[in-house]
Structures are given as structure tokens and as C-alpha cells.
Amino acid sequence: MIIPAIVWSLLLYSCKEVTFPVTQPAGISPLKEIPAALQARYSTRDKATGETGDTLIVESWGYHFKDKEDTDWLGQGRLSDSLVVKYYQNYYFINFKEGDQWVLRVIKQRSTGSLDFMAIDIQDDSKRKEILRKISRKMTVKQFDNNEYTFYQINPNTDQLMALIKDGFFTGIELRKIK
């Protein structure tokens, strides 16, 4: 099924990523645990079929997935030196370490409890050049090739990072809170 693949690729990292040299937003202290407001079960729903995908379970220590048969799969992420969560201006910033790069996912919680789960999506070759060109007008973009991965590193200050979010560079999917 394509939905779990989308969620998983959003949570971890893809072959081409915008990365950061430090956790984001820079200068903001990391959370020691996931806040109770985020601790829940979430899933995606295919708009065409209405079918529900696998379940993302967020707990105080991190996250894990369960499939439709309630079996854990794809491992888990625990808060650590390589998984850092920060909170700033009503956004949660999920930072994953990959080598010497930090991959970022941004979460905005809706009033319903559901989550907007976002990243700078540069997987599409035709869109990547345009997105990177627009970002490079605002800050330096450095390209790093690491085996099968290509990283485009930026180093925004906090105001620049928030501008990238507000200007729509971060896009994604809705993770619906399961009641």
C-alpha cells in the first residue's frame, strides 16, 4: 500500500533531502519527552478509497508503527542524540540525525488533535530545481552526495526557518488522530 510508504518516507528520510548542520530551530532547547498533547494514535486515509493506513503511535519516549493486524513494524524512534524534538511558535520540529546531517520534519497540531506532518519535498526532479533555486535566493544551499543519498544543506536562522514554513516550502500530509 502506498500510504504507509509515504508516512514512513516522511518520518525518516528519502534519497534527496534538504538537511541542516544542527537541529532546528537553532538555539531552541530540545524537549525531554513528547508532550501529552501529541501522545496518541494517528493514521492516514486514502482520499480515493477511504482506506485507513497503518497506525503511528506517539508515546512520551518517541514513536512506533503498527499495521492493521496490530503488529509492530519498521522499528521505532526514541528521543536521543539522534532524534531530537523541539517546540517553537506552535510547531513541533522533529530532527533525525543521518551521518553528520540533520533531517527535519515539522508538525502542526490541528484543533481536532490531528497533525499536519510536513517536510521540504524535493523528490520530484522537476520540482526540486525550482524549490532549491527559491531557497538559494534566501540562503546558501550546499550539496553533499553520500552513497545513494543527496543532501542539500541549508543553515537558516530561526526567522528564516519560520519564513520557509510560512512561505509554503514545508508541505505534507494529515495524520488523523484515532479516537
Specify the pLDDT at position 3: 40
Per the structure block, which three cell numbers stand in for 66? 503498527
Q: Which of these, 100, 66, 68, 98, lies nearest to 83 by C-alpha position?
A: 98
Supply the pLDDT for residue 93.
Answer: 98
> Are 79 and 34 in contact, with CB atoms under 8 Å apart?
yes
Q: Residue 74 above 90 pLDDT?
A: no
Looking at the predicted structure, is the pLDDT value of residue 41 above 90?
yes
Q: What is the pLDDT of residue 9?
A: 44
Q: Give the count of domains, the chain.
A: 1
pLDDT of 50 strictly over 50: yes
**Per residue in 129-145, pLDDT tens?**
999 999 999 999 999 98
Reference 63, options 87, 85, 90; nearest CA is: 85
What's the burial of 147, exposed, middle or buried (CB within 10 Å: 0-12/13-18/19+)?
Answer: exposed
Q: Is the pLDDT of residue 173 over 70?
A: yes
Which residue segment(s) compose the domain that 49 sits in? 2-177
Least Cα distance to 172 among 112, 78, 104 occurs for 104
